[in-house]
Amino acid sequence: MDLYEYQGKELFRRYGIPVSEGRLATSQADARAAAEELGLPVVVKAQVLTGGRGKAGGITLAETAADAEARAHEILGLDIRGHVVTKVWIERASDIAREYYLSLTFDRSAKKPLFMFTTQGGVDIEEVAATSPGALVRLHVDPLEGCHPWHGRRLVYEGGVADVGEQKQIAAIVGKLYEAYVGCEAMLCEINPLIVTPEGEVRALDSKFTVDDNALFRHADIAAMRDLAAADPLEALAREKGVTYVKLDGEVGVLGNGAGLTMSTVDVVTFAGGRPANFCDLGGGGDAQGVVDALEVITRDPQVDAIFFNIFGGITRCDEVARGILQALAQMTIDYPIVVRLDGTNADEGRRILAEAAPAGLHVEPTMLAAARKAVALAGARSTRAGLELLGDGD
Ligand code: GDP
Ligand code: MN
């Protein structure tokens, strides 16, 4: 789960990482009141779950409370790469002498948390990595040993921080960032920029904080930070129903059992010349309710023109899945074709059950590739027909 800047900063604050004082505002009036309360000048910052807000006009300075109100008016409602701003964070403006970068993320290949630090902060870190890779210090932490003071010292020395006061503050922030990361079961904690004020004070001016979804059950306070309004409505529905679902951009709805098979299904649809509309993993079960839930989510996507149901029976028995599909179809109306491929445990019985019931619009195919081709062809036919109808050309 990605957190907003203000939420990440709240967690930073809890772990003792210095941040500026601020207030959340959802209206111009709030923004004005916040500016008056905080003291001027303030910075008005769009709260959206995407980076590069500065470049997109989502961050501006305001010298007066009236100015803060006007800036909030401009930013609220702004569309930043598909994210509409509904909240702004008003923060006491900082004077900046230098902008650094510090992050801690999980390096899957090394199976260890990875610190990255550079004194060339403020800009895209990808740019620093590409143009001056030598300026980016990388340091892994052995999760069993944990983070120790030498990690912080190594990062600041190798990063070339000359000032002793800065070295000490940054090294301390390194330790606290590790505590925040482990304490919140984060996947990413990024501070860009980590600023140095003209007085030599080091502070986190921005936050990017991602918490492991699978650990949220242990962090009710963080889970409660989820902004349901900002989430993709389909993915929100899927989460509510306990369905593993990722929205994609094509026309062929994909439903498989097991993440590996579902990934392969997405690939084979592409191979057959189609575009998958989603990734949806039915998981281990195949009971009617699971099928209904998954189909409900998939069919809510208006882009779907056909569904490819790909099941490999292991512990999950194909006959059970077949019954699940029939029960699901009895409970809901789906007005586009469904192509089913069943293989593995009790596949023959599953196919027989489907063949006997023979619901309209259901096609059973013997192989994954044949089924993918069929689903792609049916999706194509359907969208062409819809297109012709739209043109008033249908018969
Ligand atoms: P991002 O563009 O989404 O990464 O948003 P940031 O919070 O990192 O802000 C972008 C840039 O705005 C920073 O790198 C700063 O240069 C500038 N900025 C943000 N807050 C302040 C502030 O309090 N004072 C000053 N002078 N500049 C700020
Ligand atoms: Mn930033």
Q: Say whether pLDDT at 214 is over 90.
A: yes
Query: Which of 63, 83, 118, 205 is the best mutation target for the ligand 1 pocket, counting ligand atoms within 8 Å of the beta carbon and taking the most?
Result: 205
Paired with 91 in beta bridges are 22, 43
Report d(CA 73, CA 82) in Å as an integer: 18
pLDDT tens digits, one per residue of 219-269? 999 999 988 777 677 888 888 888 899 989 899 999 999 899 999 999 999
Paired with 312 in beta bridges are 343
pLDDT tens digits, one per residue of 265-298? 999 999 999 999 999 998 766 677 888 889 999 9
Strands 338-344 and 306-313: parallel
pLDDT tens digits, one per residue of 38-78? 999 999 999 999 888 999 999 999 999 999 999 999 999 99
Where do we find the tokens 């179809």?
A: 329
Query: Which of 206, 207, 209 is the best mutation target for the ligand 1 pocket, counting ligand atoms within 8 Å of the beta carbon and taking the most?
Result: 206
Tell which residue, 3, 68, 61, 67, has the closest CA to residue 30.
Answer: 68
The answer to whether residues 307 and 378 touch, using CB atoms and an 8 Å cutoff, is no
Task: Give yes or no for residue 54 CB within 6 A of ligand 1.
Answer: yes
Dig out the tokens for 32 from the structure. 């004005």
Coil/strand/helix, residue 143: coil
Report d(CA 325, CA 257) in Å as an integer: 13
Dig out the tokens for 198 from the structure. 């003209």
Report d(CA 326, CA 338) in Å as an integer: 12
Report d(CA 11, CA 207) in Å as an integer: 10
Mean pLDDT rounded to a whole number for the chain: 92
Task: Give yes or no for residue 235 CB within 6 A of ligand 1.
Answer: no
